[in-house]
Structure 1
Amino acid sequence: MVNRFHDSNTSSDGNVEILVSDIMKKEVELKELQRENLKTKKEIKKLATSRKWKYSRPLRKWLVRQQSFLSRLSSKKYTELSTENVSLRAEVIGLKQELATIQTKHYQEVTRLKKILDRETDLSKDLKQTKKDGTFFEKLDWLIQAKQMNDKQYNASLKYAAKLFKHDREDYKVLAYKKVLKTLNLEEIPEFIVREVEHSPEIEIAEAASFSASLTTRAIQKYLGGNLPEWILDDKVLAYKFIDTLGIKRPWFSEDIFQYNTIEKQKNIVIKPLNGAGSRGVYLVFNESKIYDIKRSKILNSWEELTANMKEDIEAGWVQDDEWMIEELLLENKNSQVPARDLKFYCFYGKVGLVLEIERHPKLRYCWWTPSGEMIKTGKYDNELFTGKGFRESDLELAESLSSKVPAPFIRIDFLKTEDGLYFGEFTPKPGNYDEFDDKTDKFLGLLYLDADSRLNFDLFKGKQFKSYKTTI
């Protein structure tokens, strides 16, 4: 399995880039020295044929004799000290120049970053103000136009930079193309680089892979062609029906749909929106006087507080429609009434790329895991992380097996971790805020997505039936 978290090639690739870059610099320096040498030879030749050089011959002979005489007078010790002194002075001068260069670069970088931060802060203030004075959309149009012009100019410069090496040495071309590919989105990569990839496997076009871009593209496909296989399983009833055919444990749920003020008082249930994302509008009801509001991270002490909060969820736009469902409340520890924690597996057609563990009580916290069981940061929830309890190898195998039965390149499979093992929670075709992963994680998951899509298409071509899935739908 591809694993960006332990990429052994990163350091070696960096060394190669440094080496190629150094070679190029040395070649440029050599050419410059050759030009200077040729220029010096021309000047010497010109001087040797001049009248001044001819008439200064007696003086030059006298200077040579004087220099020879002074050299004999100088002791060996004096010569050594003089040489050492010159060397030390040169070293000091070099260090001073190096320090000055570093200080200049540091100042320039600090100034550049400060300007960026100041500009972003100013823009945020401007946007907030323009919304108040009614000129918001004019300002928004200006921002859009500025971004488009900026992107166009930078992309044109980057493509031109790559084109300069189109017919150059192979190692120079590879380095130039690899650097440019790191900054371009898929749709911005020029055809001549894509063509070169076929002959130069060292050029990693996969640098442009993006999980965010893949899911956005998938959303466009859904818009154009109706429901996609993974989106069909977004229906809770169909998802449970599918899970039941596979014999996987799940909580009971009511097929009835409720309004916020028509739910009867009960205990040991979960109330959630029929169509919702994240923890908005989700309530864990232990009993009538102990109800946990997950989104607000607080305990409600009465059913009246519950209905008031549900009404507020709708009015605030956290919940789109007044349509609610109830299901069984599963516990991690029944004696202490600790709710089951979530284990969300980011599945790529039979392979897990990432696992998210969520603890919802006493407060909402997150923990990211690699499939090998290493805790990591991904750019999401970095300020709300905790040390989780992890998962078993059998949990990972269950998620991978289940995802291989869904004809889709990606689907997140959510489980609840209880005293009795994992219970299926739901399928999530489009995780919320999937664009918030850092660049490395986004690229890593993007590569897994493209790999899964290729494997799925190959299996479909071979005639894989997906019988359990087809029986469900």
Structure 2
Amino acid sequence: MQPSPISRLRARLLGSKITRLEKENQKLRRRIYEQEVTSPPPLPEKQPVELERVRETVRAARREGTLFELAADIALSRQGAGDYFREAMLEALKQASGEGEAAEDRMRHLLLPSFTASELPERFVRGIESRDVPSLEPIASFRGQLTSRVRRRQKGHQLPEWVVDDKQKATRFASDLGLRVPEVLKEKTPLKELPLQKGTVVKPSSGAGGRGVYIIRSEADILNVKTSGLLTSTSELKELMHEDLNKGRVAEDSWTVEKLYYDDESYGPARDIKCYTFYGKTVLILEITRSPEIGYCWWTPEGESVNTGKYSESLMQGSGIREEELEAAGRLGGALPAPFCRFDFLRTTEGLVFGECTPKPGNYDQFNEKIDTALGEAFLDAEERLFQDLLNGATYPHWRNLL
């Protein structure tokens, strides 16, 4: 049956209208896709009340004997949600590509921060061989790089920075490079033979994070470095050191006793200066005071204070950084064939004193995304400088003397 003239007219009018609307829609989509690329708005910060509610839910599961069941459900839910989100974002990129390279690149820019390097679909880097795709900087990660180094250590790879994780070797390394090192009174001594006397610092022969470190200002004034708690007798100190061993806070009954150094400003215990150094280039510095209460301040090498997301509840104003500290960290980092190591010092009345080398800083996952990305980029740059120096015949004699 042939459509009537009225039906054909209606179809023509509607078809014309639909065609016109489609063209307007295409223009609108083109304008949207061609807008200047801007960063997505920042996500709202986590609310402490909500985070505490989550933690309490997990603690309650432990009390009820369902901790592992809850953890399994959480892991499965996160994995499933991650798969869905990944597919949705990949489909968004595919759809944007239909609008041209500019739209596809805008979508890449928008979605990149949502991926880790291991999650990133190949499509996001497709075309890098023939043209400039948007920067992959958002997926550079200090967390990822350090975790990868830990995996390599687990596989038995020789990682140069772990050689100087040994406190005795680290001290020799620093001394050979002309740095002042702490005066050691006892090394690798069991607790029952340990002299506990005023004016000394007791620490595990191996360990990190301040666990098992005690400053003995007098027999009745002993500072627990990890907690900033005060002990009032050496017998109390011995009890706590036994507890450190029994609870695994300290791995073995082997202790070192060093001379106590004092801060050149407050004449309390010397403040710590911890330099995050990437093959000779320090990118981040942490200043710590231990007394009368613990305080932290983060610095850039230019001397600007910076928020890193770590120790936010205990920040202090700080007294700044000094050129000799940057120079000392740079000297150590440049003599070590590794892309990253943290170098710890004491700022004392006797000048800068070397503390230790830390290849894996504690809680490195707590940096905010901005700092994690910046340190991740610094790690990649350091790897390239190291590679070029190795190609050009660098030998690292001070490090080799430790092998």
TM-score, normalization: structure 2?
0.84
3-state SS of 2:114 partner: coil
- Inter-partner Cα distance in structure 2 for 1:258 and 1:304: 18
Q: Work out whether 1:410 is the aligned partner of 2:396.
A: no
Q: Which amino acid aligns with 2:400?
A: K
Cα 1:239–1:37, aligned 2, differ >3 Å: closer, same or farther?
closer
2:76 to 145, 148, 152: 145
Cα 1:124–1:264, aligned 2, differ >3 Å: closer, same or farther?
closer
1:323-348 superposed Cα distances (whole Å, 9 cap, x missing partner) = 211112111249x7411101100000
- Inter-partner Cα distance in structure 2 for 1:469 and 1:270: 27
TM-score, normalization: structure 1?
0.72
- Structure 2 unaligned residues grouped into runs of 5+: 1-16, 25-42
Q: Which amino acid aligns with 2:322?
A: R
The structure number with the bigger radius of gyration is 1
Aligned-pair identity in percent equals: 38
Instruction: Tell me what 1:250 maps to.
Output: 181
Instruction: Tell me what 2:297 maps to.
Output: 367
Q: Is the 8 A contact 1:345 1:355 kept in 2?
A: yes
Q: Is the 8 A contact 2:177 2:331 kept in 1?
A: no
Q: Work out whether 1:35 is the aligned partner of 2:24.
A: no
Of 338-347 and 192-201, deviating more is 192-201
CA RMSD of aligned residues (A): 2.6
- Inter-partner Cα distance in structure 1 for 2:374 and 2:338: 18
1:84-117 superposed Cα distances (whole Å, 9 cap, x missing partner) = xxxxxxxxxxxxxxxxxxxxxxxxx99xx99x98
2:308 to 378, 383, 391: 378
Q: Is the 8 A contact 2:283 2:301 kept in 1?
A: yes
1:228-250 superposed Cα distances (whole Å, 9 cap, x missing partner) = 10001000111111112111101
- Inter-partner Cα distance in structure 1 for 2:384 and 2:18: 50
- Structure 1 unaligned residues grouped into runs of 5+: 1-30, 39-108
2:287 to 357, 365, 373: 357
Q: Which amino acid aligns with 1:351?
A: K
- Inter-partner Cα distance in structure 2 for 1:452 and 1:353: 11
3-state SS of 1:216 partner: helix
Q: Which amino acid aligns with 1:313?
A: D
Where does 1:57-456 land on structure 2 (aligned, <5 Å)? Answer: 124-201=55-132, 203-254=134-185, 256-333=187-264, 337-456=267-386
Deviation at 1:137, TM superposition (A): 1.7
Deviation at 1:34, TM superposition (A): 3.3
3-state SS of 1:197 partner: coil
Count, aligned residues: 368
- Inter-partner Cα distance in structure 1 for 2:94 and 2:349: 61
Q: Is the 8 A contact 2:97 2:103 kept in 1?
A: no
Q: Which amino acid aligns with 1:253?
A: V
- Inter-partner Cα distance in structure 2 for 1:32 and 1:386: 65
- Inter-partner Cα distance in structure 2 for 1:125 and 1:291: 34
Q: Which amino acid aligns with 1:269?
A: T
Cα 1:299–1:127, aligned 2, differ >3 Å: closer, same or farther?
closer
- Inter-partner Cα distance in structure 2 for 1:324 and 1:231: 20
Deviation at 1:136, TM superposition (A): 2.2
Report runs of 4+ in structure 1 exceeding 6 Å deviation.
none
3-state SS of 1:322 partner: coil
Q: Is the 8 A contact 2:187 2:205 kept in 1?
A: no
Deviation at 1:164, TM superposition (A): 1.8
3-state SS of 1:426 partner: strand
Deviation at 1:304, TM superposition (A): 1.3
Deviation at 1:268, TM superposition (A): 1.6
Instruction: Tell me what 2:13 maps to.
Output: none
